[in-house]
């Protein structure tokens, strides 16, 4: 429970001119970012540490956030750090209706607000998050500043490399720049043991993808996004999730095209799916309403087999541009959008949603198993 | 797609039977009318003819409709088989009528009836249902799919017990399968305790059960839906505030879950889906888990492969109409083929996301039952529930407290103000229905969260919020004490805008704050409700000036991810933006619903509210409903144009009136609860439709009403409102015993009572607060052996439009809510009926009635006296409406809508059948309560059955309330001499039953002296009456008490309680016994059943 009255004020200033006043939570400093929301009711630590959210201010539509604290994170060991999708908070800041500033859950390392303070992440509580979600939903390209009382609007506290591209008082717009250098690993790393070897192209990979591969008996080599793929020995490739506009990823699409000329299994997830789609010749468009929730219904078209999935994206594959060698694999049951494509003859598949969940439902975890079987 | 055999053959629609759940009882209440009526709608849309079998005449699902037939018959294999034979349906649906319907279908399948007539069970197969119901089959299946269930094993020695406990792991609970009253049950944390418990228990029983104890674990539920394709969703999860150990029906429940993390949630969600897949459920299923508060360890406790109380709650909590979709799914549809009815554009294969939080709080009416244990445990005792919606936990807690008991202003009500530390700690560790208030009190006294978590096992997240409220109160006390403001208004103003807004966000009501201020500022002054209300209106004005007003939010299942036109709304102070903007003024009609079901107000008032809302919907008015009861049909979002799932408090109704600016508010259709708001709403200048506030006041104020009757020369039983014992004695000297006592303030549970002599008078008066000007006692002459008659009707501007007379089977002295009602009346003289109708006309004029009414009478010979007049719709409205074919609720709406309407003449004697309304009691669940009918109401539900004559209606209605023809034996104690004489009228019928007759001394001697064979049993010596019950020699008990003497009553209570405990049919009223035994003559004639189309 927070005592709202005793807290410092903070204002959320939006690029459309609107202002929302609330109370400061977390670190006492200003940040700016692209406004996004998620309607998942649980899993805030997973979302906040998900590299896909880099450069963004995340609004939780659910009214009570922080109830179970932040799960333990020991020595950055992703295998045991369930509840974390990277080693630190990636969002610029968060907006909530109410934050719970204690933690009583046995698995908690620290209350949510403490984590934010440690990681220099500010936020605002006491905001009508439902109204804010409606505002974001209805406004294309909305950006915001979190400004605690007495703070200047300066992009100084969040230290990600791409932020240096922006002026001090400019709205951070993460899709303006190629974010791969910021989120991708700097060096090649090997995890796990097993006779199947998967190369994971790190576009901002969520730890749960790595965990699930290791759990399923794979050895993985995590490679930087700009690795020369011909130098990597692997039985199959996984192009990971990540932030930003898939068209703004340097020469990644071109290099993936080369992979698609081969015959080794390739799996794309989220941004990775969009990269593969581009590489296959399909086109990408921005959606009227992005998918930002744990309850996106998708189904495999011929069998009408349906799954609940976790999603976070505002770009989608234009179904009319899917090329002749590929077929539509999954479709969204709400808006009929493309949720997955698969190659007609080769072992290439890619999905818009997150089979690794975390947070969200595990209904499509089988996709990773199926991918591994093909190796 | 719909299953092939359900498609129409040519022009002919196929028939399916939908079983209802019968009378409302504890554990099986209004939620099944909600589920069933959604199902009927869903099936009718698919071109099916729906045959509803349900004796609950006050339900919406038994309304007349095209493509629907209604059989008001008991939901038992015997009667349902007859319906099958007659209607030849292609399918039967078991999952919308609770356990009753489920058991019925399983039996019909096992006995081969369904196969014989080619009736398919729609939805989950019977084999799967059995797997979900049968403990052993379920355990085996769970083992096979690797889902943990709590281990348990039967043992017969202490040594074995210890060995099993070692395997299962401590703590364990011991249960003895055969013991009465929980003897031999207990919690053993270690070897020593178990040794002690087991050896004690094994002395009296041969075998005990050792079970893994999950006491204090988190209790979590999932609502799962699966289609024939195998596509599966979890619609909602819910978490109990009260941990394992308290029945989930008696637990405070929050939705969605609040104290588990994403990993735990998905672990349980995956498991729930796995179970539902493997059992092979088609349709809805509820899965209950126990989750360790310290590890990821969990167990599945049980599943219900049907709609349930939880699924109704989940529907209201999420907006997702589970029953409607489930009905489509069982008729063959795939979830992907269906749309989410809230958004109308997105898929029904969807798991709602909430951006608010809901809290269910049960309503207990334990004070209505003398002697009942108030401790909560594994047996459900609550009779109703409410759900609060808001955007923080403090807000919903306080809202829910006000919803569930309109006299509580919030958590600050101070139930335990004067309790000792010891009492408080005991209450918290051994919870009753009041634990929440005890927790609040200890936090006010500075207890730590850890200490209370230890005592109660309640998750500390919940406790932290209760503590926050207590801290807020403590801080406020200091602020007010320090404040120099002279008036409440100023003190309030001085708090400042932010502070006031924060209090409102935490769910404090204006009334609550004013009362609180006054108690600190003027502790020695008495403040009436009226004073406080007046001041709270001033505070309201100030608030509005400061722009501190609630906002209206939609429930849309998507958390605003997509745009929506949802009409399902709630109000919160934790927000700044209104989701809907109302532009049309003076067009809406607001109907106030009934609030929580309770003893005395149940689904009959929801029926009235639904009829009202639907009527105005057809009149193209904006039909608006306010109600907070998740079990109801009125809170189905399709019933109205806008649904405010909100408090029925004065403040909240005004808030909604401020937003809606309606044409009028209807408060007379939802029972006494909304009716009580009329005076204050009227003072606040809200337009009330129907009776004027003056009429309501005159009807409700005993003195005014009595004066009016005197003025018009209408007779009434003599009464006084006594403020001293002297007055009482003088009154009794004049009128004589017995008298009816009605205290205005009650210390213990006993409310109304009949005193037959001075001793019992002394006793009953000792239970009330000292009689004084402030706490008068109403004493009235109690008339013995008189008939009780009711008249339901509608008047317009003082002129009766329609009036219908019905009579009680029981003589006066049985609460009208418990009595058996016959319509048209059978045994009334024409002259009496005419006299009554004449009096009704006079009263209507005298009160200037303008809307629905119910007047109760006592008739002895041709002498008619008026007992009371309710200027509102009554409990019997649906029954009388359906049997007479004149919808009293609709006629009332016409009056309230000021439509032209002429008098409706009806000759009751021309109705070609007899309707009988009988009451359902839930004493099996109310350990310790005396199951006797009397002046205080005790029934939890009712049925209404039709017959060609009185006897047929009697048999059906009693069977539908679980009075079963005896097959083992019958025990009779027949009361007073004159009762015994009356009993002789039917004694032949008793012996025709061909079962052994046992009787207590007086009755046995009476029967023997007239040549009847009877086994004599005694009260205290062998052979004892109680033993023939306990030994199962009888399955039917007639117990009529002789006098109103307390000692005799207690003696009889022992027999009655034993009868209930052992599952016997019990009758405690001689007129009902006679009517029942007489009617048994007709049993065989009932073989041909008839659907009487109402």
The strands making up B941-947's β-sheet, listed across from edge to edge, are: B863-870, B851-860, B787-796, B799-811, B821-823, B914-920, B941-947
Q: Are A241 and A209 in contact (CB under 8 A)?
A: yes
CATH of the domain at B869: 3.30.470.20
Mean pLDDT of B464-487: 93
For residue A353, which residues of chain B lie inside 8 Å, CB to CB?
Answer: none
Q: Which residues from B are below 8 Å from A105, CB to CB?
A: 259, 261
Average pLDDT, chain B: 93
Provide, as residue numbers in chain A, all residues whose Cβ is less than 8 Å from the Cβ of B269.
361
The distance from CA B368 to its chain's CA centroid, rounded to whole angstroms, is 13
The CATH number of residue B655's host domain is 3.40.50.20
Query: In Å, how far is A7's CA from the nearest CA of chain B?
Result: 12
Whether B177 shows a pLDDT value over 90: the answer reads no
Out of A63-67, B13-17, B973-977, pick the least confident: B973-977
3-class state of residue B89 by DSSP = coil
Do residues B520 and B616 share a domain?
no
Kindly determine whether residue A83 and residue B261, on different chains, have CB atoms separated by under 8 Å.
yes
Q: Which of B263, B354, B502 sits opposite A41 (nearest CB)?
A: B354
CB contact under 8 A, A133 and B355: yes
- Average pLDDT on B988-1002 reads 94
Nearest C-alpha in B relative to A62: B355
Rounded to a whole number, what is the distance in Å from the CA of B268 to chain A's nearest CA? 11
Res. B744: pLDDT tops 70? no
Both tokens assigned to B281: 């459920």
A43 closest CB neighbour out of B262, B459, B502: B262
Average pLDDT over residues B406-427: 95
How much of chain B exceeds pLDDT 70, in percent?
Answer: 98
Tens-place pLDDT, residues B513-546:
999 899 998 888 888 888 899 999 999 999 999 9
Residue B167 burial by Cβ neighbours in a 10 Å radius (0-12, 13-18, 19+): exposed
Does residue B714 form part of some domain? no
**Radius of gyration of chain A, Cα coordinates, nearest whole angstrom:** 20
B1027 with B968, same domain?
Answer: yes
Tell me the DSSP string of B792-803.
EEEEETTEEEEE
Residues B205 and B264 occupy one common structural domain: no
Contact A297 B349 (CB under 8 A): yes
Question: Which of B261, B344, B507, B562 has the most A C-beta neighbours within 10 Å, making it the best mutation to test the interface with A?
Answer: B261
The pLDDT score that the predictor gives to residue B748 is: 38
| pLDDT (mean) for A64-73 | 96
Contact B258 A64 (CB under 8 A): yes
What CATH number did the domain enclosing B1053 receive?
A: 3.40.50.1380
Dig out the tokens for A99 from the structure. Answer: 């934050």
Chain-centre distance for alpha carbon A25: 23
Q: Which residues of A touch B298 (CB under 8 A)?
A: none
Q: Say whether B352 and A295 touch across the interface (CB within 8 A).
A: yes
DSSP for B338-383?
SB-TTTSSSBSS---B-SSEEEEEEE--GGGSTT---B-SSS----
Q: Which of B262, B461, B467 sits opposite A104 (nearest CB)?
A: B461
Residue B46 lies in a domain: yes
Q: pLDDT-based confidence at A3, cuts 50/70/90? A: low
Distance separating alpha carbons of residues B241 and B463, to the nearest angstrom: 9
B327 and B247 within one domain:
yes
Give the model confidence (pLDDT) of B1001-1051 as tens digits: 999 999 999 999 999 999 888 999 999 998 999 999 999 988 777 788 888
- CA distance linking residue B812 with residue B313, whole number of Å: 39
Note whether B577 and B521 are same-domain residues: no
Q: Which of A291, A294, A313, A354 is catalytic?
A: A354
pLDDT digits (tens, 9 = 90+) for B65-114: 988 999 999 999 999 999 999 999 999 999 999 999 999 999 999 999 99
Q: Give B336-387 pLDDT, tens digit per residue.
A: 999 998 888 889 999 999 999 999 999 999 988 888 889 998 889 999 999 9
| Nearest chain A Cα distance for residue B621, angstroms | 29
For residue B464, give the chain A residue with the closest CA: A1
What is the pLDDT confidence band of residue B182, given thresholds at 50, 70 and 90? Answer: very low
Q: Counting Cβ atoms within 10 Å, is residue B545 exposed (0-12), middle (13-18) or buried (19+)?
A: exposed
Residues of B in contact with A71 (CB under 8 A): 261, 263
Q: Does B207 have pLDDT greater than 90?
A: no
B705, B834, B847: which is closest to B780 by C-alpha?
B705
The residues near A297 (Cβ < 8 Å, ≥ 6 apart) are A306, A307, A308, A309, A332, A333, A334, B336, B346, B347, B349, B350
Residue B11 pLDDT > 60, yes or no? Answer: yes
Residue B521 is assigned to a structural domain of this protein:
yes
Residue of A nearest to B339 (CA): A334
In angstroms, the separation between the Cα of residue A366 and the nearest Cα of chain B is: 13
Contact A62 B293 (CB under 8 A): no
What phi and psi, each to the nearest 5 degrees, are found at residue B934?
-165, -155
pLDDT at position B775: 77
Q: What is the DSSP string of B716-775?
A: ---EEEESSHHHHHHHHHHH-S-EEEEESSBSSS--SEEE-SHHHHHHHHHTBPPP-SSS
- The residue ranges of every structural domain in chain A are 4-177, 181-373
Best residue in B254, B329, B389, B559 for a mutation probing chain A (most A CBs within 10 Å): B559
Of B294, B465, B574, the CB nearest to A1: B465
Contacts of B265 in chain A (CB under 8 A): 42
- Say whether both B396 and B522 belong to one domain: yes
Q: Is the pLDDT reported for residue B136 higher than 50?
A: yes
Give ipTM to 2 decimals: 0.98
Instruction: Check if A113 is active-site.
Output: no
Evaluate whether residue B532 is within a structural domain: no
Which residues of chain B are within 8 Å of residue A47 when distances are taken between CB atoms? Answer: none
Here the CATH number for the domain that contains residue B169 is 3.30.1490.20
Chain B closest-CA separation from residue A306 CA (Å): 6
Q: Do B352 and A63 touch (CB under 8 A)?
A: no
pLDDT at B181: 40
Q: Same domain for B679 and B556? A: yes
Q: Tell me the chain B residues in contact with residue A130 when contact means C-beta distances shorter than 8 Å.
A: 355, 553, 559-560, 575, 577, 579
Per-state percent for chain B, helix, strand, coil, to nearest 5: 40, 20, 40
Catalytic residue among A46, A270, A331, A343: A270
- Kindly state whether residues B745 and B792 are assigned to the same domain: no
Please name the member of A4, A61, A71 whose beta carbon is closest to the beta carbon of B502. Answer: A4
**C-alpha B585, offset from chain centre:** 36
Does A151 participate in catalysis according to the annotation?
A: no
- For residues B207 and B219, membership in a common domain is answered with no
Chain A contact set for B231 (CB, 8 A):
299, 304-306
**Among the three residues B638, B661, B689, which one is the final residue of a domain in this structure?**
B689
User: Could you say which of A4, A130, A299 has the minimum Cβ distance to residue B553?
Assistant: A130
Least CA distance to B468: which residue of chain A? Answer: A1
Structure tokens at A194: 């097993």
Do B140 and B287 have their domain in common?
yes
Question: How far is Cα B765 from Cα B783, in angstroms, rounded to an integer?
Answer: 20
B651 shares its domain with B769: no
**For B805-833, what is the mean pLDDT?**
93
A1 pLDDT tier (thresholds 50, 70, 90): low
d(CA B890, CA B794): 10
Q: How far apart are CA B1055 and CA B1064, in angstroms?
A: 11
Using CB atoms, which residue from A1, A134, A295 is nearest to B560?
A: A134
With beta carbons under 8 A apart, name residues in chain A contacting B460. 104
The chain A residue lying nearest B233, using CA atoms, is A308
Q: Which residues of A touch B560 (CB under 8 A)?
A: 39, 61, 130, 133-134, 137
Angstrom distance (rounded) from CA A153 to CA B721: 73
User: Cβ contacts (< 8 Å) between A133 and chain B: which residues?
Assistant: 355, 559-561
pLDDT at B747: 41
Cβ contact, residue pair A137, B563, below 8 Å:
yes
Q: Which residue has the higher pLDDT, B983 or B185?
A: B983
- Let me know if A339 is a catalytic residue: no
- Considering the four listed CATH numbers 3.90.25.10, 3.50.30.20, 3.40.50.2300, 3.30.9.10, the one that applies to the domain covering A4-177 is 3.50.30.20
Cβ within 8 Å, pair B355-A308: no
Rounded average pLDDT over A196-225:
97
Taking the C-alpha atoms of residue A60 and residue A40, their distance in angstroms, rounded to an integer, is 8
For A268-305, the pLDDT digits (tens) are: 999 999 999 999 999 999 998 789 999 999 999 889 99
Structural domain contains residue B847: yes
**pTM as predicted:** 0.96
For residue B179, what pLDDT is reported?
A: 43
A71 closest CB neighbour out of B261, B460, B502:
B261
DSSP A71-97: E---TT-TTT-TT-SSSS--SSEEE-S
Q: Token pair 């799962």 is at which residue?
A: B224
pLDDT (0 to 100) of residue B176: 67
Nearest-neighbour CA in chain A from B362: distance (Å): 23
pLDDT of residue B184: 56
Determine the average pLDDT of the residues in B730-755: 78
Please indicate, yes or no, whether residues B202 and B222 belong to a single structural domain of this protein.
Answer: no
Q: Do residue B464 and residue A105 have CB atoms under 8 angstroms apart?
A: no
Give mean pLDDT, residues A40-63. 97
C-alpha–C-alpha distance, residues A60 and A65, integer Å: 8
CB contact under 8 A, B559 and A130: yes
Tell me what percent of the residues of chain B surpass a pLDDT of 90: 79
Residue B511 lies in domain: 391-527
**What is the domain count for chain B?**
8
- CATH for A181-373, among 3.20.20.70, 3.40.50.880, 3.40.50.300, 1.10.3720.10? 3.40.50.880
Closest CA to A134 of B577, B320, B358: B577
Option in B295, B353, B579 nearest A295 (CB)? B353
Residue B544 lies in a domain: no
How close does chain B come to A302, measured CA to CA in Å? Answer: 12
The answer to whether the CB atoms of A293 and B230 lie below 8 A apart is no
Question: For chain A, what is the largest distance between any 2 Cα atoms, rounded to a whole number of angstroms?
Answer: 63
Contact B260 A42 (CB under 8 A): yes
- Say what the pLDDT of residue B1090 is: 73
Structure tokens at B983: 């009993």
């Amino acid at each position: 429970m927070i005592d709202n009255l005793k807290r410092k004020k903070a204002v959320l200033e939006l690029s459309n001119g609107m202002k929302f006043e609330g109370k400061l939570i977390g670190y006492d400093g200003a940040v700016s970012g692209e406004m996004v929301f998620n309607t998942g009711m649980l899993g805030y630590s997973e979302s906040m540490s998900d590299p896909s959210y880099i450069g963004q201010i995340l609004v939780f539509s659910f009214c009570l956030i922080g109830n179970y604290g932040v799960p333990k994170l020991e020595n950055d060991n992703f295998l045991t750090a369930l509840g974390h999708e990277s080693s630190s908070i990636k969002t610029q800041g968060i907006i909530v209706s109410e934050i719970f500033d204690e933690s009583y859950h046995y698995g908690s390392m620290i209350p949510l607000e403490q984590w934010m303070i440690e990681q220099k992440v500010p936020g605002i509580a006491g905001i009508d998050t439902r109204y804010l979600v409606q505002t974001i939903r209805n406004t294309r390209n909305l950006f915001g500043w979190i400004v605690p009382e007495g703070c200047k609007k300066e992009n100084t506290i969040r230290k990600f490399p791409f932020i240096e591209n922006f002026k001090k008082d400019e709205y951070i717009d993460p899709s303006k720049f190629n974010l791969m250098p910021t989120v991708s690993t700097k060096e090649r790393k090997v995890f796990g043991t097993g006779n199947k070897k998967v190369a994971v192209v790190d576009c901002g990979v969520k730890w749960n993808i790595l965990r699930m591969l290791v759990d399923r008996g794979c050895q993985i080599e995590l490679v930087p996004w700009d690795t020369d793929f011909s130098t990597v020995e692997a039985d199959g490739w996984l192009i990971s999730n990540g932030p930003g506009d898939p068209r703004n990823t340097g020469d990644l699409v071109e290099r993936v095209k080369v992979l698609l000329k081969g015959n080794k299994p390739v799996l794309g997830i989220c941004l990775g799916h969009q990269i593969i789609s581009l590489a296959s010749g399909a086109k990408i468009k921005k959606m009227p309403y992005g998918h930002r929730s744990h309850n996106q219904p998708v189904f495999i078209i011929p069998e009408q087999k349906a799954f609940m999935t976790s999603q976070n994206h505002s770009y989608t594959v234009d179904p009319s541009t899917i090329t002749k060698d590929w077929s539509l694999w999954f479709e969204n049951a709400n808006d009929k959008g493309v949720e997955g494509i698969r190659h007609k003859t080769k072992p290439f598949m890619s999905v818009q949603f997150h089979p690794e969940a975390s947070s969200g439902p595990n209904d499509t975890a089988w996709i990773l198993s199926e991918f591994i079987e093909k190796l | 797609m719909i299953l092939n055999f359900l498609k129409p053959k040519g022009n002919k629609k196929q028939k399916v039977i939908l079983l209802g759940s019968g009378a409302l009882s504890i554990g099986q209440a209004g939620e099944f009318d909600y589920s069933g009526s959604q199902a009927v709608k869903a099936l009718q849309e698919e071109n099916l003819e729906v045959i509803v079998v349900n004796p609950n005449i006050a339900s919406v699902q038994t309304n007349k409709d095209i493509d629907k037939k209604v059989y008001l018959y008991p939901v038992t294999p015997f009667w349902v088989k007859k319906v099958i034979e007659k209607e030849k349906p292609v399918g039967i649906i078991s999952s919308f009528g609770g356990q009753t319907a489920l058991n019925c279908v399983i039996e019909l399948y096992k006995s081969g009836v369904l196969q014989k007539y080619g009736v398919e069970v729609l939805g989950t197969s019977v084999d799967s249902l059995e797997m979900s119901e049968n403990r052993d089959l379920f355990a085996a299946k769970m083992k096979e799919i690797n889902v943990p269930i709590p281990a348990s094993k039967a043992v017969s020695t202490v040594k074995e017990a210890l060995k099993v406990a070692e395997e299962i792991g401590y703590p364990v609970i011991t249960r003895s399968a055969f013991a009465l009253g929980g003897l031999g049950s207990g919690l053993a944390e270690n070897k020593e305790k178990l040794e002690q418990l087991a050896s004690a228990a094994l002395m009296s029983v041969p075998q005990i059960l050792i079970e893994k104890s999950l006491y204090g674990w988190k209790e979590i539920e999932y609502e799962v839906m699966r289609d024939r394709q195998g596509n599966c969703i979890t619609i909602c999860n819910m978490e109990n505030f009260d941990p394992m150990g308290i029945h989930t029906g008696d637990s405070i429940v929050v939705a969605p879950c609040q104290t588990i993390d994403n990993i735990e949630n998905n672990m349980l969600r995956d498991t729930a889906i796995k179970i539902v897949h493997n059992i092979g459920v088609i349709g809805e299923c509820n899965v209950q888990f126990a989750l360790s508060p310290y590890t990821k360890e969990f167990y599945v406790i049980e599943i219900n492969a049907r709609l349930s109380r939880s699924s109704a709650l989940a529907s209201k909590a999420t907006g997702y109409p589970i029953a409607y979709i489930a009905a489509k799914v069982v008729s063959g549809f795939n979830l992907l083929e269906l749309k989410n009815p809230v958004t109308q554009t997105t898929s029904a294969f969807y798991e709602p996301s909430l951006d608010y939080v809901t809290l269910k709080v049960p309503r207990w009416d334990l004070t209505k039952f003398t002697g009942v244990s108030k401790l909560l445990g594994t047996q459900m005792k609550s009779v109703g529930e409410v759900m609060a919606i808001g955007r923080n936990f403090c807000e919903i807690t306080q809202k829910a407290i006000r919803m569930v008991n309109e006299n509580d202003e919030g958590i600050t009500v101070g139930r335990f103000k004067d309790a000792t530390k010891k009492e408080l700690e005991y209450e918290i560790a051994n919870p009753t229905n009041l634990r929440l208030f005890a927790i609040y009190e200890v936090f006010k006294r500075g207890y730590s969260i850890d200490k209370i978590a230890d005592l109660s096992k309640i998750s500390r997240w919940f406790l932290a919020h209760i503590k926050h409220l207590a801290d807020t109160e403590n801080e406020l006390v200091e602020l007010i004490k320090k404040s120099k403001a002279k008036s409440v208004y100023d003190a309030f103003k001085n708090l400042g805008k932010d502070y006031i807004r924060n209090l409102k966000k935490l769910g404090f009501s204006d009334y609550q704050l004013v009362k609180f201020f006054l108690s600190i500022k003027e502790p020695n002054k008495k403040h009436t409700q009226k004073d406080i209300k007046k001041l709270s209106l001033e505070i309201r004005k100030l608030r509005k000036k400061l722009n501190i007003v609630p906002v209206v939010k939609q429930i849309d299942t998507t958390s605003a991810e997509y745009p929506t036109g949802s009409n399902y709304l709630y109000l919160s102070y934790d927000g700044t933006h209104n989701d809907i903007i109302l532009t049309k003024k003076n067009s809406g009609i607001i109907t106030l619903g009934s609030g929580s079901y309770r003893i005395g107000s149940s689904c009959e008032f929801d029926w009235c509210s639904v009829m009202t809302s639907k009527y105005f919907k057809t009149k193209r008015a904006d039909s608006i409903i306010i109600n907070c009861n998740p079990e109801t049909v009125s809170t189905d979002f399709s019933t109205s144009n806008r649904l405010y799932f909100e408090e029925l408090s004065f403040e909240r109704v005004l808030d909604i009136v401020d937003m809606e600016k309606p044409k009028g508010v209807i408060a007379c259709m939802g029972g006494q609860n909304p009716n009580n708001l009329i005076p204050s709403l009227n003072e606040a200048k809200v337009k009330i439709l129907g009776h004027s506030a003056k009429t309501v006041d005159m009807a409700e104020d005993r003195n005014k009403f009595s004066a009016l009757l005197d003025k018009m020369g209408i007779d009434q039983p003599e009464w006084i409102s006594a403020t001293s014992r002297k007055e009482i004695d003088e009154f009794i000297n004049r009128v004589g015993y017995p008298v009816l006592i009605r205290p205005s303030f009650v210390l213990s549970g006993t409310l109304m009572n009949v005193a037959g002599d001075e001793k019992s008078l002394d006793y009953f008066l000792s239970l009330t607060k000292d009689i004084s000007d402030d706490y008068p006692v109403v004493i009235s002459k109690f008339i013995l052996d008189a008939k009780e008659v009711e008249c339901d009707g509608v008047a317009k501007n003082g002129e009766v439009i329609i009036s219908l007379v019905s009579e009680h089977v029981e003589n006066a002295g049985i609460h009208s809510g418990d009595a058996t009602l016959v319509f048209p009346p059978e045994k009334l003289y024409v002259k009496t009926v005419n006299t009554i109708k004449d009096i009704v006309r006079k009263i209507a004029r005298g009160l200037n009635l303008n809307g629905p009414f119910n007047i109760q009478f006592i008739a002895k010979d041709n002498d008619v006296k008026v007992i009371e007049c309710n200027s509102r719709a009554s409990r019997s409205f649906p029954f009388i409406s359906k049997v007479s074919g004149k919808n009293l609720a609709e006629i009332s709406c016409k009056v309230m809508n000021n439509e032209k309407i002429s008098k409706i003449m009806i000759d009751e004697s021309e109705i070609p059948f007899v309707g009988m309304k009988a009451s359902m009691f839930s004493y099996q669940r109310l350990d310790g309560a005396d199951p006797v009918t009397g002046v205080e109401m005790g029934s939890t539900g009712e049925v209404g059955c039709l017959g060609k004559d009185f006897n047929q209606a009697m048999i059906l209605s009693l069977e539908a309330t679980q009075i079963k023809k005896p097959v083992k034996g019958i025990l009779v104690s027949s009361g007073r001499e004159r009762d015994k004489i009356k009993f002789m009228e039917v004694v032949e019928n008793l012996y025709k039953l061909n079962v052994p007759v046992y009787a207590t001394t007086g009755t046995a001697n009476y029967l023997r002296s007239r040549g009847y064979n009877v086994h004599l049993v005694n009260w205290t010596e062998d052979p004892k009456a109680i033993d023939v019950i306990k030994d199962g020699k009888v399955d039917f008990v007639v117990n009529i008490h002789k006098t109103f003497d307390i000692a005799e009553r207690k003696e009889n209570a022992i027999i009655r309680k034993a009868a209930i405990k052992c599952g016997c049919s019990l009758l405690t009223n001689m007129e009902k016994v006679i009517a029942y035994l007489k009617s048994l003559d007709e049993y065989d004639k009932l073989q041909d059943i008839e659907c009487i189309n109402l």
